Amino acid sequence: MTDDPELLDLMLEDMATRDFLFQPARYWEHVNLRLEQTIRQNGVTALRSSAHEVFRHFGASTFQDVSRISSLHNRYTHARLVRLLRNVPILGSLLSRIDSDIGRIVENERMIISKCMKAIYDLAEEIDRDGLSRLEDSLQGAPDHYVSRNGKFYTAECLSYFVNLRRATKDIDVGDSPKILEIGGGYGGLCEVATRLWGQSTYVIVDIPHTAYCSTQYLKACFPGRVVDYRQTRMLDRISVEDLTGRIVVLCPWQVDAIRSKFDLFFNFCSFQEMTPAIVQNYAQKVKMLVPGGNAFISCKAESHPVSNDFTQRGVSEPISSHDIRETFRDCELMWTRLHEAIPYYDGAYETVRFFVPELASRASVL
């Protein structure tokens, strides 16, 4: 992976003059403070490393940084003052118990991670063994935790996206070259999985500048020469996917109105609840026009994020629940399922909503 801070500067400069519907909502105002600092100081070459916790906000890593705990413990153990205190009878005994407790915590965390990795791989293999054989994580972005099977590497993020993608599309025939739209693409993980499964797919990501920048750099490393970045599209009044067949296109929110193509699939994994109801309503209108077949998959928590009126604290200015999202799309027939409930490393199950236009609903089955 490489850094390209000028690209991020360009996105942020253009965003400053855009309508509030295309600006980051309160939730991301808070996150972007830390994200901006991390990108400027450390770059994005290790965005999937658990050492950079801020990148976990958009799914770049799943597990906490166990190696950091172990490293801090090692530094503490060899500190001169600690070595001296070990010679004091009572303190020496206390420090030995602390050493033992920290060691157990680290070992327990590693065991949990190992079990979770095995569980998600087994689930993925059960759902689609053939598809899994065609998948492999690039390991770009320096992820800490992965498993090797049959000479290929898999991370929890890669396998999770694969499971959800296969469950969501199991009854849909989109051929070998689907056109896919995703709002809120995170670090680019779902796009990577979809592109490896459907080698000739055309994939469009719409996201706010900081995360759009991260996914752009990540996907450029995964698929050299295939990514169309913001520099190449910012001056376009019309963006036609037909002119970009087989490419990965990363756009900013204010470019949605320039899209003139129709898509076979739409995805949003959890980010609608990080927006305001007005922003979600705006996107809903776009999705209904851009995805005429109704194959839209939206993953969200049952409960909304907590409210916060302070942009330095994590929260939303206006909460939006899964019920609110259902109402936003109330003119479509809904079918609900829980795609994450069998994946043990997630904190709580997410609900995934599949929206069908009414005329297709009778032919659809509950996932």
Asked, for residue 344, whether it belongs to a domain, the answer is yes
Residue 139 in domain = no
pLDDT at residue 320, as a whole number: 79
Q: What domain count does the chain have?
A: 1
Note whether residue 67 is domain-resident: no
Nearest to 156, CA basis, from 117, 196, 197, 110: 117
Does residue 255 sit within a domain?
yes
- Environment class of residue 364 by beta-carbon count within 10 Å: exposed (0-12), middle (13-18) or buried (19+)? middle
Determine, yes or no, domain membership for 343.
yes
Query: Does the residue 61 lie in any domain?
Result: no
Structure tokens at 30: 């808070």
pLDDT, position 331? 53
| Three-state DSSP state, 296 | strand
SS3 223: coil
- HSE at residue 53, side-chain half, CA atoms within 13 A, is 5
Report if pTM > 0.85: no
Distance CA 186, CA 59 (A): 6
Average pLDDT, the chain: 79
pLDDT, tens digit (0-9, with 9 covering 90-100), for 12-66: 999 999 998 888 887 777 788 888 989 999 999 999 987 777 888 787 777 665 5
Token pair 């609903």 in the structure block, residue: 361
Host H or E run for residue 337: strand 333-337
**SS3 track for 45-68:** CCCCCCCCHHHHHHCCCCCCCHHH
Encode pLDDT of 217-255 as tens digits.
Answer: 999 999 999 999 999 999 999 999 888 999 999 999 999
- CATH number of the domain within which 323 lies: 3.40.50.150
> Quick check: is 135 in a domain?
no
Look at residue 348 in the predicted model and tell me its pLDDT: 32
* Domain span including residue 324: 5-43+157-361
Q: Which two tokens stand for residue 228?
A: 């169309």
Residues of the chain with pLDDT under 50: 332-367
DSSP bridge partners of 179: 202
Residue 225 placed within a domain: yes
